[in-house]
Amino acid sequence: MITVLRAGPLTTVQDLGRPGYAHLGVPRSGALDQPALRLANRFVGNADDAAVLETTVLGCALRFADRTLVAVTGAVADVDADRRPVERLRGCQLFEVPAGGILDVKRATRGVRSYIAVAGGIAVEPVLGSRSTDTLSGLGPARLADGDTLPIGVPALAPSLVGEPAPITGELVLGVRLGPRDDWYATKELFGSSYRISPLSNRVGARLAGNALTRAKAGELPSEGVVLGAVQVPADGQPIIFLADHPTTGGYPVVGVVDDVTPLAQARPGTTVRFRELD
């Protein structure tokens, strides 16, 4: 059992999400940085889809009832295990917390989200096959609060120390496939401009700030399906890239789809974003 001593501003339970329910209006959700989640799980001997904790910028503090193997990946942050600093090796902090010990994941110095995997996984009840917190629909466990307790499952696999996380870079260049509504805006402006991540970004979408795209077609669209990575352009012309908790339908034009949104999981407000067109 884990007791939450300091929940942090947005710490949630996440796994690989619940894809396949968009026709019911349910987002896929899941960890924003799935490679970091998979790596943390492998380091403690969990299956790739075991539930972990995803923290946001300021980390969290937890007390463990029993001795537990823990891995922290994702954002670069100082980590203390029972008041002792843990060295970061190959992009991960791997250590044991003693019975009654405290884990303290501190403010991220690079990146945004840390992933805390424990041997056995976070064993909250699944909803529609996933233990992920969906911040848009409210499905899954609630975001963590001080004093919460979380059950831990039974370790099943031997730890594997194979793999390293992708580096957290300053400027992002995202590949985009145009469509279905790229004729509604002057999309050449999308590839000729640079944007910055807005502080209003969250798990639903990365809001961009920069040169507004020029509208090329008048009128309004009926709501239609949207997918992970969809680049939607609202009335102000500032693109939004949909992330894991995105709505399943929307009425603003989608001018393209980003092929890999993973780098956005660790992109801080102010990070420069550029686009390149994919065939």
For the stretch 111-160, pLDDT in tens is: 999 999 999 999 999 999 999 999 999 999 999 999 999 999 998 888 88
What is the overall mean pLDDT for the chain? Answer: 95
Share of the chain above pLDDT 70, in %: 100
Please tell me the predicted confidence (pLDDT) of residue 157.
80
pTM for the whole structure = 0.96
For residues 143 and 136, the answer to whether their CB atoms sit within 8 Å is: no
**Statement: residue 208 has pLDDT above 80:** yes
Domain ranges of the chain: 2-150, 172-277
Q: C-alpha angle with apex 103: 61 to 88, nearest 5 degrees?
A: 115
- Tell me phi and psi for residue 131, to 5 degrees: -100, 10
For the stretch 160-207, pLDDT in tens is: 877 777 788 889 999 999 999 999 999 999 999 999 999 999 999 999
Close Cβ partners of 253 (under 8 Å, ≥ 6 residues apart): 181, 184, 185, 221, 232, 233
CATH among 3.40.720.10, 1.10.760.10, 2.40.100.10, 3.40.50.300 for 172-277: 2.40.100.10
235 token code pair: 């009335």
37 token code pair: 């989640």
| C-alpha gyration radius of the chain | 19
Residue 243 to residue 136: CA distance in whole angstroms: 11
Instruction: Single out the residue of 161, 165, 133 nearest to residue 15, CA to CA.
Output: 133
Please tell me the predicted confidence (pLDDT) of residue 26.
93
107 token code pair: 């403010």
Close Cβ partners of 13 (under 8 Å, ≥ 6 residues apart): 51, 52, 53, 54, 122, 124, 131, 132, 133, 140, 141, 144, 150
Please tell me the predicted confidence (pLDDT) of residue 159.
85
On the 0-12 / 13-18 / 19+ scale of CB atoms within 10 A, 116 is buried
Please tell me the predicted confidence (pLDDT) of residue 8.
97
Instruction: Single out the residue of 123, 13, 130, 96 nearest to residue 60, CA to CA.
Output: 13
For the stretch 71-99, pLDDT in tens is: 999 999 999 999 999 999 888 999 999 99
118 token code pair: 């424990």
